């Protein structure tokens, strides 16, 4: 009997010793409760710890960064366009004691995250236009190489005042303090995916087409300007070359005419026969340049132009032997 009593006492002592010690891992933090109520502060350092056996319990709480993958929800923008938003975030338990008192476990925390983050996300998107949610930052242009300034005269693209990054930051700031009341430290919130309602998709595609069209028109206008500049330079150079060539031709022709005139003058002054031959050649050149195949000219009989066109003066040709005269017989004539 005494032996059994020793065994029972030993088992109780062993259980007491085992119940006194507990181990805290690097990835967790511990809340000690006594009769269901927390005792002291949370244990956040790893190692071997002690507690009162049998009346105190150990509640382990995650210490690592935890994911939040929000449900997909359809939300309206300020310009009354509906989009489907899928978001995610990162959080951790910053105040274990408050977390245990308010939420107890991760399932309740996930439900609270869905409510608060979903509500803040819906409110933020409802305060801004669709373009602010679609575009990442306010400084991003439709195309970096197109140099199109949104909102400038002649552009019908709305200006980007905030951008999606600023909206994510707004959601984060608004939800951070509300989650801190539950011992949750919110680390980050991001939009994972934004899908367009079928009624909105057509408008989005039209906007994309308008951006591409503006870029194409700008490239076309710049190309047309460069083409006009090149053509203008070509025409200018061509006129300059033609002018210089014409000037050189005129110089050569003037010199040739001067030399020809000098030669004609020298030949004209040599003898009367030379002058007559020169006049004859000049008259032929005049005829060639003045009269064509169908040219009709009315001239007086004493015109100098008819000097070489008049019929030759005819004279009688002396026959080698006498020719009897009689009726019907004429005398042959020959030109003089």
pLDDT digits (tens, 9 = 90+) for 11-31: 666 666 667 888 889 999 999
Pair 132, 99 in one domain: yes
**pLDDT (0 to 100) of residue 289:** 77
Section 118-137 average pLDDT: 88
Q: What is the DSSP string of 64-96?
A: S-EEEEPPPEEEE-TTS-EEEEEEEEEEEES-H
Pair 19, 124 in one domain: no
Section 207-233 average pLDDT: 90
Pair 148, 161 in one domain: yes
CA dihedral 42, 48, 53, 57 (to 10 degrees): 40
Final residue in a domain of this structure, among 39, 61, 83: 61
Section 295-316 average pLDDT: 65
Pair 46, 74 in one domain: no
Confidence bin at 295 (pLDDT 50/70/90): confident
The winner for highest mean pLDDT among 77-81, 216-220, 279-283 is 216-220
Would residue 250 count as lying in a domain? no
Would residue 291 count as lying in a domain? no
Would residue 136 count as lying in a domain? yes
| 296 φψ region: left (φ > 0), alpha (ψ -120 to 50), beta (else) | beta
pLDDT at 319 over 60: no
Section 212-237 average pLDDT: 92
Q: How far apart are CA 138 and CA 122, in angstroms?
A: 21
Final residue in a domain of this structure, among 196, 220, 248: 196
**pLDDT (0 to 100) of residue 153:** 41
Would residue 257 count as lying in a domain? no
Pair 50, 109 in one domain: no
The whole model's pTM is what? 0.54
Domain that holds residue 178: 66-196
Section 270-282 average pLDDT: 72
Pair 101, 37 in one domain: no
Cα–Cα–Cα angle for 133, 136, 137, nearest 5°?
110
Neighbours of 164 (CB within 10 A): 20
Section 274-290 average pLDDT: 75
- Of 64, 31, 26, 65, nearest to 46 (Cα)? 26
Would residue 42 count as lying in a domain? yes
Section 163-186 average pLDDT: 93
Quote the number of domains for the chain. 2
**pLDDT (0 to 100) of residue 220:** 92
Would residue 241 count as lying in a domain? no
Mean pLDDT of the chain: 79
Pair 55, 104 in one domain: no
Cα 28 from chain centre: 52
Q: What is the pLDDT of residues 150-164, one digit of tens each?
A: 444 444 556 777 888
Pair 121, 155 in one domain: yes
Confidence bin at 201 (pLDDT 50/70/90): confident
**pLDDT (0 to 100) of residue 141:** 56
Q: Give the DSSP H/E element, type plus range, for residue 113.
A: helix 106-126
Would residue 334 count as lying in a domain? no
Pair 72, 191 in one domain: yes
**pLDDT (0 to 100) of residue 13:** 63
Final residue in a domain of this structure, among 169, 196, 223: 196
Alpha-carbon torsion 302, 307, 310, 311, what sign? positive
Would residue 138 count as lying in a domain? yes
CATH classification of the domain holding 84? 3.30.479.30
Pair 76, 182 in one domain: yes
Pair 80, 44 in one domain: no
- Percent of the chain exceeding pLDDT 70 equals 77
Section 273-286 average pLDDT: 74
Pair 55, 70 in one domain: no
């Amino acid at each position: 009997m005494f032996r059994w009593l020793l065994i029972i006492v030993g088992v109780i002592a062993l259980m007491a010793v085992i119940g006194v010690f507990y181990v805290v891992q690097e990835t967790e933090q511990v809340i000690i409760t006594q009769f269901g109520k927390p005792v002291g502060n949370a244990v956040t350092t790893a190692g071997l710890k002690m507690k009162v056996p049998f009346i105190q319990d150990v509640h382990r709480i995650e210490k690592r960064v935890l994911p939040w993958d929000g449900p997909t929800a359809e939300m309206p923008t300020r310009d009354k366009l509906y989009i489907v938003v899928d978001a995610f975030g990162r959080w951790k338990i910053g105040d274990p004691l408050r977390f245990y008192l308010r939420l107890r476990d991760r399932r309740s925390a996930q439900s609270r995250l869905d409510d608060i983050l979903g509500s803040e996300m819906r409110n933020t998107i409802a305060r801004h236009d669709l373009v602010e949610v679609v575009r990442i930052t306010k400084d991003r242009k439709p195309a970096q190489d197109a140099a199109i300034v949104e909102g400038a005269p002649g552009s019908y693209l709305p200006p980007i005042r905030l951008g999606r990054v600023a909206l994510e930051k707004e959601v984060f700031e608004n939800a951070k303090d509300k989650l801190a009341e539950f011992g949750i430290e919110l680390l980050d919130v991001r939009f994972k995916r934004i899908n367009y309602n079928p009624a909105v998709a057509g408008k989005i595609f039209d906007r994309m087409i308008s951006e591409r069209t503006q870029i194409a028109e700008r490239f076309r206008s710049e190309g047309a300007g460069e083409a006009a500049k090149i053509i203008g330079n070509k025409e200018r150079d061509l006129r300059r070359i033609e002018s210089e060539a014409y000037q050189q031709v005129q110089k050569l022709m003037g010199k040739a005419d001067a030399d020809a005139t000098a030669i004609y003058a020298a030949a004209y002054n040599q003898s009367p026969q030379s002058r007559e031959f020169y006049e004859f050649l000049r008259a032929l050149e005049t005829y060639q340049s003045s009269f064509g195949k169908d040219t009709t000219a009315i001239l007086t009989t004493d015109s100098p132009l008819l000097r070489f066109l008049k019929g030759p003066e005819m004279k009688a040709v002396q026959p080698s032997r006498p020719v009897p005269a009689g009726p019907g017989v004429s005398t042959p004539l020959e030109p003089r």
